[in-house]
């Protein structure tokens, strides 16, 4: 039997930070064990999980279609609202068609697991999301990892590939742990040089980045939509629901529709989740001021953490890593901040190396500057007591 005692040890030390039960809605403040705390650990970047139109859409869909589909999209699980949402998503991100999966994780598993063959190549950034790593494992292609956002490393891996084989470069738009943005212009440059295809994971870019606060993602921010062969996104962040999608050419989507095993063999997303994502997408498109406010808060928080002397890496987004660089200290600080009414997420090994542990501080468009000020004040207090800030 596998010996696993890490969780037991942190529980016994009173610093176990996972599975904290929330007894309220997912908002800028939540209730845990009867205590109100400020939520800076959520991916609900636009703060839409409580929007009246989103909740109303979910309720109405449940009344009309029921609570579940009891089958996959391939057989009995396709609703008209599934198809409607796919059309809207494809148009939104600028591709011919889109395909909705049960989760964003399933998208990466299902796309990468079947699009390339045994003689082909998948080239991926070492800090890509875990779902991309699982997609790699599902594929029979040769997998080549390059150093994070290092274009020389990417080029060296592309040079290893046979010229006449399919080469799929898979990147996060915004990297989920450290909040930095992919060097997409140079990824495109190298892909063109070596005749490679590109898949971008916009899980954290959708609803956050894009020209003129469009929320379409990193590909739109750089004006490189036409150079993306596949654009992936999730509903569980800015779109206030659960599920995911991939958008691409009509031919590619039709192939996935008939060959992607996580799509074919998973029950389709519920009517309520579908309608909620649809409603959130409409709000996203209609209210760019939400995204602008998110960025105003981001710049405000980044300036505060830099002024404090926090090590925050290369982030420029609403995901702000506060590096601790010690596993146990990261757990202790997370607990101390919670006791002060601040919910943040610890990121420790094996998700990162023990020397790269951090607290992930995430912003929502619905946070106030007063809430950010309170969090910064508490973080500075705890960081000073724990010797994290420079003397």
Exactly one of 102, 176, 241, 268 is catalytic; which is it? 176
285 as an active site residue: the answer is: no
Closest by alpha carbon to 18, among 366, 330, 388, 240? 330
Contact indicator for 294, 318 with CB cutoff of 8 Å: yes
Rounded Cα–Cα distance for residues 232 and 255 (Å): 16
Rounded Cα–Cα distance for residues 94 and 216 (Å): 9
Contact indicator for 175, 182 with CB cutoff of 8 Å: yes
Rounded Cα–Cα distance for residues 143 and 165 (Å): 13
Exactly one of 51, 129, 167, 204 is catalytic; which is it? 204
Residues near 379 by Cβ (< 8 Å), separated by ≥ 6?
A: 305, 308, 310, 322, 337, 342, 361
Rounded Cα–Cα distance for residues 202 and 104 (Å): 10
Exactly one of 237, 241, 362, 367 is catalytic; which is it? 237
258 as an active site residue: the answer is: no
CA dihedral 275, 280, 283, 288 (to 10 degrees): -160
CA dihedral 21, 24, 28, 32 (to 10 degrees): -40
Length of the chain: 391
204 as an active site residue: the answer is: yes
Rounded Cα–Cα distance for residues 236 and 225 (Å): 22
Q: Give the strand order in the sheet containing 35-39.
A: 29-32, 35-39, 342-343
Return the DSSP state at 354.
G
Backbone CA torsion sign across 172, 165, 262, 279: positive
Contact indicator for 374, 38 with CB cutoff of 8 Å: yes
* Residues taking part in catalysis: 176, 204, 237
């Amino acid at each position: 039997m596998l010996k696993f005692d890490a969780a037991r040890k942190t529980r016994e030390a009173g610093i176990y930070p996972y599975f904290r039960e929330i007894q309220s809605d997912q908002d800028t403040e939540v209730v845990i064990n009867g205590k109100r705390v400020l939520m800076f650990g959520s991916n609900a970047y636009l703060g839409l999980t409580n929007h009246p139109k989103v909740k109303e859409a979910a309720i109405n869909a449940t009344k009309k279609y029921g609570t579940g589909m009891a089958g996959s999209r391939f057989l009995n699980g396709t609703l008209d609202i599934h198809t409607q949402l796919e059309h809207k998503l494809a148009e939104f991100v600028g591709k011919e068609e889109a395909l909705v999966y049960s989760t964003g994780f399933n998208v990466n598993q299902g796309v990468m697991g079947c699009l390339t063959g045994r003689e082909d190549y998948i080239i991926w950034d070492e800090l890509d999301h875990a779902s991309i790593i699982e997609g790699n494992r599902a594929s029979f292609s040769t997998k080549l990892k390059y150093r994070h956002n290092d274009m020389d490393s990417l080029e060296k891996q592309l040079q290893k590939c046979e010229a006449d084989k399919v080469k799929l470069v898979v990147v996060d738009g915004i990297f989920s742990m450290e909040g930095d943005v992919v060097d997409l212009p140079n990824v495109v440059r190298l892909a063109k040089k070596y005749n490679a295809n590109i898949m971008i994971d916009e899980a954290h870019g959708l609803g956050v980045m894009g020209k003129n606060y469009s929320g379409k993602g990193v590909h739109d921010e750089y004006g490189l939509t036409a150079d993306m062969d596949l654009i992936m996104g999730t509903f569980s962040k800015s779109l206030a629901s659960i599920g995911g999608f991939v958008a691409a050419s009509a031919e590619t989507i039709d192939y996935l529709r008939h060959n992607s095993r996580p799509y074919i063999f998973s029950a389709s997303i519920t009517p309520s989740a579908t309608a909620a994502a649809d409603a959130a997408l409409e709000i996203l498109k209609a209210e760019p001021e939400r995204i602008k406010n998110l960025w105003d808060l981001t710049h405000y928080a980044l300036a505060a953490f830099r002024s404090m002397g926090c090590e925050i890496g290369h982030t420029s987004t609403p995901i702000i890593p506060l590096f601790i660089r010690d596993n146990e200290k990261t757990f202790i600080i997370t607990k101390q901040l919670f006791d002060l009414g601040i919910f943040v997420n610890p990121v420790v090994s094996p998700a990162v190396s023990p020397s790269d542990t951090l607290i992930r501080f995430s912003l929502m468009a619905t946070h106030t500057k007063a809430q950010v000020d309170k969090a910064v004040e508490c973080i500075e207090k705890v960081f000073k007591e724990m010797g994290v800030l420079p003397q």
